[in-house]
Amino acid sequence: MNSLTFPILSIITFFPVAGILFILFVNNDRRNLIRWASFLTAVITFLISLPLYFKFDATTWNMQFVEHIPWVKAFGISYHMGIDGISVLLVLLTTFLSPLAILSTWTAVTERVKGYMISLLFLEIGMLGVFCALDFFLFYVFWEVMLIPMYFIIGIWGGPRRIYAAVKFFIYTMSGSVLMLIAILSLYFMHFKMTGEYTFNILTYHELNIPIDVQFWLFLAFFLAFAIKVPMFPFHTWLPDAHVEAPTAGSVILAGVLLKMGTYGFLRFSLPIFPQASIDFIPVIFWLAVIGIIYGALVSIAQEDIKKLVAYSSVSHLGYCMLGMFALNIEGVQGSIIQMINHGLSTGALFLIVGMLYERRHTRLISEYGGIMKVMPVFAAIFLIVCFSSMGVPLLNGFIGELLILVGAFKANVWVGLITTIGLVLGAVYLLWMYKRVMYGEITKEENKKLTDMSGREYAYILPIILFIFWIGLYPKPFLDKTYASVDHLLQKVNYHKELAISKGKSTEDKDDTLIMINNNNNR
Amino acid sequence: MELIIPTINLSAICPEIVIMVFALIILLLQSFLPIKSKGYFAYVCFTGILLASVLVIYLPSAFDMQFVESSFSGMWVVDNYSRFFKLIFLLGSGLTTLISVNYVANEKIQHGEFFSLILFATLGMMIMASGADLVVIFLGLELMSISLYVLCGCTRTRTISNESALKYFLLGSFATGFLLYGIALLYGATGTTSLKGLSEIVSKTGSQGHIEIMGMALLVIGFGFKIASVPFHMWTPDVYQGAPSPITAFMSAGPKAAAFAAFARVFVMALPSLQGEWVGLVWILAVLTMTVGNIIALVQENIKRMLAYSSIAHTGYILVAFLSAGELGIASILYYLLAYTLMNIGAFALITVLAGKGEERITVQDYSGIGYKNPVAAIAMSLFLFSLAGIPPTAGFMGKFYIFSAAIKEGYLGLAIIGVINSVISVYYYLRVTVAMYMKVPETTTESQFPAIVFSPALILAIIISAYGVLRLGLFPSDYIAIVKQSFLALQ
């Protein structure tokens, strides 16, 4: 277990504050200064987050770079940060995507740049905090705080129906999370009754044996919060609205990072704290995930708006993540984590590409395009790579994630695995069909003939993503290795309960619950 | 007949004496000073409040665990509970004074009356918090209420203000009647009005004492009116809307806190043995208050009226804490009321100034585009609204967190779930204001009709204090939590 002497996670999380403070004192009209300041802030945040990758010890499942300071002693709340194999890649994804998102807004957002940049940096703080927090209270604070900048980003700089989308996003997410708060508080008092200690430390809850009937309800409350965030079918209805109305950078962050908070929540809370309930919920989640995969893909096919198409494709992709995770085997869960990263990269890139088209033509309707390849050849190549990555073509990152998830799914349930493969085909259908209609053929619209190919700035924010698309596709080992120890540890815990349930089911005698609990403690 | 002279301990009522003396000084100066110098009354008033706060904090040795001092034959008690409440009242009236400086001048209100009435109302609240006898509590309540009736109507030329005063007065007297009847029944059944005596006698009869239960129910109505709980809330929207904005700010924070102070003291100290009887009653009140307040607030166009309904909803949350009146419950009431005072007065400070002269700009639409014309004001307003909605990292969130943890700890899980669902509903109408401020374009035609917005230094100070408090209580609540926990011990 390694730990640095200085609080690196806090520095990464709160470094954007420096940028925000600087920007606050810059005159509104000096737009370029504001843009550069926020871009540099995000780049520096990324650079200082790199040691997390290199100094991360992949051999242990323990939390690393831990910081632990009491915050509100009366309640047992502490400022507790730390990362493990599950969160390290997500933290890096966040710091990686943020500067690219900021770079993409250079010409897209020309009004109220100051507020926009402050919101984006504020959002980054919230996202990083969610992935690093190891205290329930701290986690909840970051989880909720992040709604505010996203609400403003959609509501102020969004499209025509932005107010509706922003308010819907806010209220939808919040209604899930307040029930989670109730569940957290119930857990908290239950823990007090069992151990006599008031604490919000997430790790101590991983060790708690909760009675199964209580697990059910608590799991349900957490499930609602995370399922809305993911979003799983049928809680996905806020997503297309939010995505379509949000400005490009907002969509990139929303798809790239925000949705991962839901899946991350399942991995960090639901599975380890409620292992038994998680196992009981597998069928529900499997089928919701499969419906999400197929439904998301089918709806994507029917879209006429490119951005909406990408938004619905997220519902489909996140279905894969949930499926892999609840396959509860090492391939599935690792695939799920890699797929979270992949989705962040490829869907983020798709939104950036849609943004490029939109900036040139101010429309996102597929019918307005056609034959773009002739005027923008380099753009066409990059677009194609990103589409391939999103649909999981071998040698690119999407393939690795989807393959692992499918292996996991087949191991867990053959039927679910079989149906999921249909989703893969549908994924190719909507992306390639859209690509064909936008890029190939004759140029039918007069305006499209004068389109210019990508600018230097556009290269600057799309090429880093392409690099990782190939890197993860060709050599995923370093990324998979980072997650292995933590995932393995998580699965041991969950599967222990699974075996327990099976042996309990087989034995004809009625075993006493408390006896099992005692055994459980002894084994640990 | 022997005349018993009670022990008079002036140090116990020192802060109250200061407030009263300053109120009288202002009244006297009003008659003697030339009109020009009347602008200074606000500062005289503020000095009095500061002085009283210092006395509340330091006169009896600083907050310690066991400190309880009773005097006047046990009718008056100074404990950490009452001291904390007094600080909330003084904070509320201090901020109100700061907000009122420009308002009073603009609206041509009599300075002397206005500020001395604020001090008298504050005095009434302080008496309520310290009263250990139903008669003393009643005296305080009346002093507070009568001052408020007058304050509501102090913009004499505006019909809506007169309407507000008259409504408040009529309904308020009616509710006071209930309260008094309740006190009379309790006295008739037990022969005492002292809380301690009541507690001893009622604990013997328990739920057998029908007259006591009757009296208790009437007290619930009386207090329920003052805290604006459904179904005794009918006066709130009209009165809040009609009263001058600074007074609305004052009313929504101080008197509510004072009524809760007395309510909790009477029910926790004197009537705990009847808990079985009032729990069900208050449970229903809490659910109704939260839900009705929030749902009606959704459709309000007038922002003062909206905050009136929101204030009703907040009463509901505090009733949840009241029900779970264990250690966490009482402490969370204190914490929440402090947070509520800060965020609500902060919001009303901005409403006061943004409304402009004559309070013309008070609908949600009027806030369109304010985010770009007055960015700092809009940020502060958003902060207060997010805090009222209970979004972290603000005082409002910490307060709700405190209340709902108390509810869950005492086993009121259903109530906690209804509470959080309500706070999601409330997000919608708080967001409406931010939507208007940042996401709507103002109609240019109506823009020119409105008077310019002038920020006075005193008002800016009030906003800074509230904003600081909201963030301080939200981010670093430890020391305040320690204080409210000690305050609870006083009630044991």
Structure confidence by residue, pLDDT tens digits, A144-163? 999 999 999 998 888 888 88
- A449-504 pLDDT, tens digit each: 888 888 888 888 899 999 999 999 899 888 888 888 888 888 888 888 777 766 66
> Which residue of A17, A69, A75, A245 to mutate against B (max B Cβ within 10 Å)?
A75
**What pLDDT score does A124 carry?**
92
For residue B262, pLDDT over 90 is answered with yes
| In chain B, residues 421-460 whose CB comes closer than 8 Å to chain A | 421, 423-424, 427-428, 431, 435, 438-440
Of residues A309, A308, A434, the one with CA closest to residue A369: A434
Positive or negative: CA dihedral B264, B265, B266, B271: positive
- For B259, residues 6+ apart whose C-beta sits below 8 A from its C-beta are B128, B141, B223, B226, B227
CB contact under 8 A, A178 and B477: no
Q: What is the pLDDT of residue A519?
A: 43
Out of B404, B427, B485, name the one closest to residue A174 (CB). Answer: B427
- B106 closest CA partner among B472, B306, B357: B357
Helix (H, G, I), strand (E, B) or coil at B451: coil
Q: What is the torsion angle, in degrees rounded to the nearest 10, for the CA atoms of residue A306, residue A308, residue A310 and residue A315? A: -160
Residue B141: inside a domain, yes or no?
Answer: yes
Distance between CA B383 and CA A459 in Å, rounded? Answer: 39
| Segments forming the whole domain that contains residue B147 | 12-444+452-491
Q: How high is the mean pLDDT of chain A? A: 86
Mean pLDDT, chain B, integer: 87
Q: Evaluate if residue B62 carries a pLDDT over 90.
A: no
pLDDT digits (tens, 9 = 90+) for A261-317: 999 999 999 888 988 888 888 999 999 999 999 999 999 999 989 999 999 999 999
pLDDT tens digits for range A327-383: 888 889 999 999 999 999 999 999 999 998 888 888 888 888 888 888 888 989 999
Mutation target among A141, A148, A184, A189 for the B interface, most CBs of B within 10 A: A141
Q: How far is CA B359 from CA A155, B105, B299, B313, in A?
A: 29, 13, 21, 25
**Would you call A277 helix, strand, or coil by DSSP?**
helix
Contact A89, A10 (CB under 8 A): no
What tens digit of pLDDT does each residue of B434-476 get?
A: 888 888 877 665 555 556 677 888 899 999 999 999 999 988 8
| Cβ-Cβ contacts under 8 Å, B428 against chain A | 167, 171
Q: Is the pLDDT of residue A522 over 90?
A: no
Q: Is residue B2 part of a domain?
A: no
Residue B330 pLDDT = 86
CA–CA distance, A306 with A358 (Å, rounded to integer): 10
Rounded Cα–Cα distance for residues B45 and B49 (Å): 6
Residues of chain B with C-beta less than 8 angstroms from the C-beta of A176: none
pLDDT in tens, A6-36: 788 888 899 999 999 998 888 888 888 888 9
pLDDT at A510: 44
Q: pLDDT category, A233, cuts 50, 70, 90?
A: confident
Domain ranges of chain A: 281-483
Taking CB atoms and an 8 Å limit, are A181 and B417 in contact across chains?
no
Are the C-beta atoms of residues B254 and B226 closer than 8 Å to each other? no
Distance between CA atoms of residues B438 and B282, nearest Å: 40
Phi, psi angles (nearest 5°) of residue B227 = -85, 0
Q: What are phi and psi of A82, to 5 degrees?
A: 175, 155
Instruction: Give the three-class secondary structure for A426.
Output: helix
The DSSP string of B55-118 is: HHHHSSSSS-TT-EEEETTTTEEEEHHHHHHHHHHHHHHHHHHHHHHHHHHHTT--HHHHHHHH
Angle, in degrees to the nearest 10, between helices A162-195 and A238-245:
130
What percent helix, strand, coil does chain B show, rounded to 5? 80, 5, 20
pLDDT greater than 60 at residue A441? yes
Residue to substitute from A148, A181, A189, A245, interface B, most B β-carbons within 10 A: A181
Residues of A with Cβ-Cβ distance to B401 under 8 angstroms: 137, 181
Q: At what angle do helices B327-355 and B303-323 cross, to 10 degrees?
A: 170
Take residue A399 and report the two structure tokens written for it: 């393939």
pTM for this entry: 0.91
Asked if residue A64 lies in contact with residue A2, where contact means CB atoms within 8 angstroms, the answer is yes
Specify whether the CB–CB gap between B301 and B224 falls below 8 A: no
Does the residue B3 lie in any domain?
no
The one-letter amino acid code at B439 reads M
φ/ψ of B362, rounded to 5, equals -130, 15
Chain B CB contacts of A178 under 8 Å are 420-421, 423-424
Q: Considering the domain boundaries, does residue B1 fall inside one?
A: no
Residue B35 belongs to some domain of the structure: yes
Beta carbons of B420 and A170 less than 8 Å apart: no
The residues facing A83 across adjacent strands are A64
Which stretches within A196-305 are classed as H helix?
Answer: 202-206, 212-229, 238-245, 248-253, 259-265, 271-273, 275-302
State the SS3 of B212-259.
HHHHHHHHHHHHHHHCCCCCCCCHHHHHHHHCCHHHHHHHHHHHHHHH
Contacts of B150 by beta carbon, 8 Å cutoff, 6+ apart: B113, B117, B165
Residues B393-444 pLDDT 10s: 899 999 999 999 999 988 899 999 999 999 999 999 999 998 888 888 776 6
| Residue B363: pLDDT band with limits 50, 70, 90 | confident
Tell me how far CA of residue B437 lies from CA of A111, A155, B84, B110, B373, in angstroms.
16, 11, 36, 34, 9
What percentage of chain A has pLDDT greater than the value 90? 35
Report yes or no on B55 lying in a domain: yes
Report d(CA A307, CA A355) in Å as an integer: 9
pLDDT value at position B169? 93
Determine the average pLDDT of the residues in A93-100.
92
Of residues A137, A147, A171, nearest to B428 (C-beta) = A171
Nearest residue to A50 via CA among A83, A96, A82, A103: A96
Q: Is residue B18 part of a domain?
A: yes
- The count of domains in chain B is 1
Cα distance between residue A407 and residue A389, in whole Å = 19
From the CB of residue B133, how many other CB atoms can be counted at a distance below 10 Å? 23
Residue A56: what pLDDT? 85
Please indicate whether, in this complex, the C-beta atoms of B413 and A182 are within 8 angstroms of each other.
yes
Predicted confidence at residue A516, as pLDDT, reads 45
B191-234 pLDDT, tens digit per residue, is: 888 888 888 888 887 767 788 889 989 999 999 999 989 889 88
d(CA A55, CA A65): 10
Helix axis angle, A113-132 relative to A136-145, nearest 10°? Answer: 160
Cβ pair B176, B182 in contact under 8 A: no
Overall average pLDDT of the B229-254 stretch: 91
Q: Is residue B311 part of a domain?
A: yes
